């Protein structure tokens, strides 16, 4: 039993410098701090009701759902890269055009948006509520519907 305890203690000591290094990685700390300084809590989100149908052409619409869901239905003009692959394939994304990212509910899109912003993409917006909310609001006609209600 003493040998196991001693081995665990030595192993633990070996991890301490690695943990300290991970905590002291200044570029990561700076990137995370700048991400959380990003405007306000909703600064990176946009509602379907805020986007006139003709404005979708101004975005690089990025669907981060799986290929099967994308094939079944998606926002017209969208490009599909599954959320797990977006960061690895980020070189395909435009730096000079606003990226509108969505999934079904915004959970995966939020992760993608954060990762891209941490990598220096300042042009990322997340579709609030995702594809499900977009459809419920009227899809491409959500803005027109919302404007009529006013």
Rounded distance, CA 49 to CA 53, Å? 10
Is pLDDT above 90 for 73?
A: yes
Task: Determine which helix (DSSP H) or strand (DSSP E) holds 62, and give its type and residue range.
Answer: strand 60-63
* Close Cβ partners of 9 (under 8 Å, ≥ 6 residues apart): none
Task: Determine which helix (DSSP H) or strand (DSSP E) holds 99, and give its type and residue range.
Answer: strand 99-102
pLDDT tens digits, 27-54: 767 766 766 665 455 568 999 999 999 9
Is pLDDT above 50 for 8?
A: no
* Close Cβ partners of 10 (under 8 Å, ≥ 6 residues apart): none
pTM attached to this predicted model: 0.75
Q: What is the DSSP letter of 96?
A: S
pLDDT for 15 equals 45
């Amino acid at each position: 039993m003493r040998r196991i305890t001693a081995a665990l203690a030595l192993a633990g000591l070996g991890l301490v410098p690695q943990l300290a290094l991970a905590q002291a990685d200044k570029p990561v700390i700076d990137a995370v701090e700048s991400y959380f300084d990003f405007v306000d809590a909703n600064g990176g989100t946009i509602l379907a009701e805020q986007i006139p149908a003709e404005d979708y052409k101004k975005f690089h619409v990025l669907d981060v759902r799986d290929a099967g869901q994308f094939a079944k239905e998606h926002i017209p003009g969208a490009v599909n890269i599954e959320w797990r692959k977006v960061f690895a394939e980020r070189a395909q994304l435009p730096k000079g055009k606003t990226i509108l990212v969505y999934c079904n509910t915004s959970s995966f899109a939020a992760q993608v948006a954060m990762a891209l912003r941490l990598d220096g993409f300042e042009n990322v917006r997340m579709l609030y509520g995702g594809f499900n909310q977009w459809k419920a609001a009227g899809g491409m006609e959500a803005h027109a519907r919302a404007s009529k209600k006013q």
